[in-house]
Amino acid sequence: AQSVTQLGSHVSVSEGALVLLRCNYSSSVPPYLFWYVQYPNQGLQLLLKYTTGATLVKGINGFEAEFKKSETSFHLTKPSAHMSDAAEYFCAVRPGGATNKLIFGTGTLLAVQP
């Protein structure tokens, strides 16, 4: 069965520091991979996605992620954290094949300290 694991339910960084949020997936076929962000009392907003092609994907707000098939990982990074980045981040996988289901990880709450 397909699954997504996000390491660290809470991550705290200082403003200006590197942000690294980890995501590993399991899928029997090449997946599509996504990162979503959720601000308090709001829905989910797409940060970036990997479908095919270049494995380094750039998204909104300066975030990027790299698809590493050998490591089954899709970690999210940002070189310099801003206070406005404080939110919950979800990694999701859409398994390949006919299904269009999105399977989510349990989320990582990012805190940014001044």
Q: Contact positions toward other proteins, by CB under 8 A?
A: 6, 9, 32, 34, 36, 41-46, 49, 51, 90, 92, 94, 100-107
**CB nearer other proteins, residue 51 or residue 113:** 51
For the CB of residue 61, give the shortest distance to other proteins in the complex, in Å: 16
Contacts of 99 (CB under 8 A, 6+ apart): none
Distances, alpha carbon 97 to alpha carbons 18, 54, 73, in Å:
35, 20, 19
**CB nearer other proteins, residue 84 or residue 106:** 106
Report d(CA 53, CA 76) in Å as an integer. Answer: 18
For the CB of residue 66, give the shortest distance to other proteins in the complex, in Å: 18
